[in-house]
Amino acid sequence: MTSTDPPLLERDEVLAQLRARIGTLAAPAGGTGAAAGACVLLAGAAGIGKTSVLQALRRITAGQASWLWGSCEPLLAPPALAPWFEMLDQLPARVAAAVRAGQVGAELYAGMLAMMGTARRPIVLVIEDVQWADGATLDLLRYLGRRVASTRTMLVLTWREDEVGPTHPVQAVLSGLHGDAVLRPLLRPLSAAAVALLAQRAGRSSKGLYQSTQGNPFFVTQLLAAVPGAATALPLAVRDAMLARLVRLPARARRILDLASLSPVALEREVLLDLGAADETAWTQAMRCELVVQPRTGHTEGSLRFVHELARLAVASALGDRAGALHGELFDALQRRGAAAARLVHHAEHGARVDAVLALVPQAAREAAAASAHRQAAALYALALSHRTGMDAANELSICELHADECLLTNQLEAARNSRERALTLAQALGDELAQARQRRVIARIHWLRGEPSEGMPLARTAIEQLERVAPGGRELAMAHATLAQLHLLATDPRTAREGADTALAIFERLGDAEGRAYALNTAGAARLGSDDEAEGLALLHQALAMALAQGLEELAARAYTNLASAAIVGHRLSELERWCDEGITYCEERDLDTFAIHLATRRAVCALQRGAWDEALKQLGLLLSRTDLSPLQRDQIEHWMALLQVRRGGGQGYWGVLQAHGTYRAEPSHVLRLWYFDADLHRIESLWLRGDDARAAELARSVLASRTPDRRRLSMFRVWQQRCGDAPVGACTEAATLEPACTLELGGRHRDAADAWAALGCPYEQALALACGGEADQREALERLQALGAQAAAQRVRRQLAHLGAKAIARGPYRHARRDPLGLTAREREVAELIVLGLSNREIAARLVRSERTVEKHVAALISKLGVADRHEAASLVRGG
Distance, CA of 243 to CA of 289 (rounded, Å): 10
The pLDDT tens digits of the residues spanning 266-282 come to 899 899 999 988 788 88
Mean pLDDT (whole number) for 228-242:
56
**Rg, Å, the chain Cα set:** 31
Q: In the prediction, which pLDDT does 519 show?
A: 92
Which region among 1-5, 120-124, 150-154 has the lowest average model confidence (pLDDT)?
Answer: 1-5
Whether residue 400 contacts residue 392, with contact meaning beta carbons closer than 8 Å, is answered with no
Q: In the prediction, which pLDDT does 146 show?
A: 84
Which region among 289-298, 349-358, 422-431, 491-500 has the lowest average model confidence (pLDDT)?
Answer: 289-298
φ, ψ of residue 745 to 5 degrees: the values are -65, -45
Q: How confident is the model at residue 399 (pLDDT cuts 50, 70, 90)?
A: very high
The pLDDT tens digits of the residues spanning 511-541 come to 999 999 999 999 999 888 877 888 999 999 9
The pLDDT tens digits of the residues spanning 171-229 come to 878 876 767 788 999 998 899 898 888 888 888 878 778 877 778 888 888 778 765 54
Mean pLDDT (whole number) for 601-605:
94
Q: How confident is the model at residue 2 (pLDDT cuts 50, 70, 90)?
A: very low
Which region among 145-149, 239-243, 565-569, 638-642 has the lowest average model confidence (pLDDT)?
Answer: 239-243
Distance, CA of 831 to CA of 825 (rounded, Å): 9
CA distances from 835 to 507, 840, 875 (A): 50, 6, 11
Query: Residues 6 or more apart from 473 whose CB is under 8 A from it?
Result: 507, 510
Mean pLDDT (whole number) for 735-756:
87
Residue 299 pLDDT > 60: no
- Residues 739-759 as b/e (b if ≥16 CB within 10 A, e otherwise) read bbebbbbbbeebbbebbebbb
CA 838, 843, 849: angle at the middle one, nearest 5?
70
Residue 234 pLDDT > 90: no
Most confident of 682-691, 806-815, 829-838: 682-691
Q: In the prediction, which pLDDT does 630 show?
A: 80
The pLDDT tens digits of the residues spanning 539-551 come to 999 999 999 999 9
The rounded percent of the chain whose pLDDT value lies above 70 is: 88
Mean pLDDT (whole number) for 261-267:
92
Q: In the prediction, which pLDDT does 7 show?
A: 55
Q: In the prediction, which pLDDT does 860 show?
A: 84
Whether residue 102 contacts residue 81, with contact meaning beta carbons closer than 8 Å, is answered with yes
Residue 669 pLDDT > 50: no
Q: How confident is the model at residue 637 (pLDDT cuts 50, 70, 90)?
A: confident
What residue type is assigned to position 768 of the chain? Answer: A
Mean pLDDT (whole number) for 568-594:
89
More confident residue, 526 or 424: 424
Burial class (CB in 10 A: 0-12, 13-18, 19+), 494: buried
DSSP 69-87: EEE----SSPPTTGGGGGG
Most confident of 114-118, 346-350, 488-492: 346-350
Residue 36 pLDDT > 90: no
Chain centre to alpha carbon of residue 52: 31
Distance, CA of 789 to CA of 878 (rounded, Å): 24
The rounded percent of the chain whose pLDDT value lies above 90 is: 48
Q: Is the backbone peptide bond immediately before 710 cis, with ω within 30 degrees of 0?
A: no
Q: How confident is the model at residue 420 (pLDDT cuts 50, 70, 90)?
A: very high
CA 445, 450, 455: angle at the middle one, nearest 5?
65
Q: How confident is the model at residue 496 (pLDDT cuts 50, 70, 90)?
A: very high
Q: How confident is the model at residue 668 (pLDDT cuts 50, 70, 90)?
A: very low
Q: How confident is the model at residue 822 (pLDDT cuts 50, 70, 90)?
A: low
Smallest CA-to-CA distance from 330 within 221, 256, 227, 252 is with 256
Q: What is the pTM of this model?
A: 0.68
Average pLDDT, the chain: 85
Q: In the prediction, which pLDDT does 730 show?
A: 58
User: In 3-state terms, what secondary structure has residue 575?
Assistant: helix
CA distances from 803 to 143, 288, 780 (A): 57, 88, 11
Residue 784 pLDDT > 80: yes
Q: How confident is the model at residue 661 (pLDDT cuts 50, 70, 90)?
A: low
Q: In the prediction, which pLDDT does 749 show?
A: 92
Whether residue 518 contacts residue 499, with contact meaning beta carbons closer than 8 Å, is answered with no
Residue 41 pLDDT > 60: yes
The pLDDT tens digits of the residues spanning 314-337 come to 889 889 999 999 999 999 999 999
